[in-house]
Amino acid sequence: MQIAACPTLYNGADPPKCAVEFRFKFPHGLTCPCNTRRTIFNTLSSFKLHQKGKGHKKWLSLVQDDKCDNEIMKKNIRLLNIKNTELSNEVSQLTAKISKVSMENTILKKLWVELRENIHDLD
């Protein structure tokens, strides 16, 4: 018993440019996700004819829009990560300043108490 070879599923990128490339990349044919009937394209000419159809063009534009949206989202995520790092650094710096000021405040309170006690002792 021999296992049947399955056609390759087309992903919308790098369409073959010549018949030899088509045969090399897709030796068992090609199916396109935009095609609900899952037609197997065995030749470059049949696939090129399919690519000229409205359904394939609409599907391809949706795939490309998704890729653009993904690129925009990745760029936004990178920018937000950078902003998050900057804000984290700023929070760390402000926390250090607050602890320093708090320590100074504690020292000043102690000095004030000592100063008040010394004034009363003189009376």
3-class SS letters over the chain: CCCCCCCEECCCCCCCCCHHHHHHHCCCCEECCCCCCCCCECCHHHHHHHHCCHHHHHHHHHHHHHHHHHHHHHHHHHHHHHHHHHHHHHHHHHHHHHHHHHHHHHHHHHHHHHHHHHHHHHC
Domain ranges of the chain: 1-52
Q: What is the per-residue pLDDT across 107-117, written as a single tens digit (0 to 9) for each?
A: 999 988 888 88
The mean pLDDT value of the chain amounts to: 81
**Predicted confidence pLDDT, tens digits, the chain (123 residues):** 455 567 777 777 777 778 888 887 888 888 888 877 778 888 888 888 888 888 888 888 887 777 767 777 777 788 888 888 888 999 999 999 999 999 999 999 998 888 888 766 554
Q: What is the per-residue pLDDT across 24-34, written as a single tens digit (0 to 9) for each?
A: 788 888 888 88
How much is the pTM?
0.48
